[in-house]
Amino acid sequence: MGRQPVGMDELVEHWTVPGEVDLVAGKRGGTRLGFALVLKFYTRHGRFPRGRVDFPDEVVEFVARQMRVSAADFESYQWAGSTIE
């Protein structure tokens, strides 16, 4: 049983990041994208993500375009250590 694709309506409603742009302005690459995704995930689900598995590819690509970084940069996001804590 696979994950259902994320539709454009959900992407726009829950994963648009205009309010977060100022918060991520000082971050770069994978950290910029990861931070934006974690913020939106927390807003949407009321908890922090466990890791990359919590983010469908459509969501990563949608937020990456808004952050003007490559979706592939998310693979370098650190899920342990001070960045995520």
Helix, strand, or coil (residue 70): coil
In sequence order, the 6+-apart residues with CB closer than 8 A to the CB of 69 are 29, 30, 32, 33
Residue 25 reports pLDDT greater than 70 = yes
Number of neighbouring beta carbons within 10 Å of residue 17 = 17
Q: Residue 1: what pLDDT?
A: 46
- For residues 69 and 75, what is the distance between their CA atoms, to the nearest angstrom? 12
- For residues 46 and 69, what is the distance between their CA atoms, to the nearest angstrom? 26
Q: Is residue 3 part of a domain?
A: no
Q: Is residue 1 part of a domain?
A: no
Question: How many domains is the chain partitioned into structurally?
Answer: 1
Residue 76 banded pLDDT, cuts 50, 70, 90: confident
pTM of the model: 0.85
Q: Is residue 82 part of a domain?
A: no
Could you list the residue range(s) of the whole structural domain that residue 44 is in? 8-76
Q: Is residue 41 part of a domain?
A: yes
Q: Is residue 81 part of a domain?
A: no
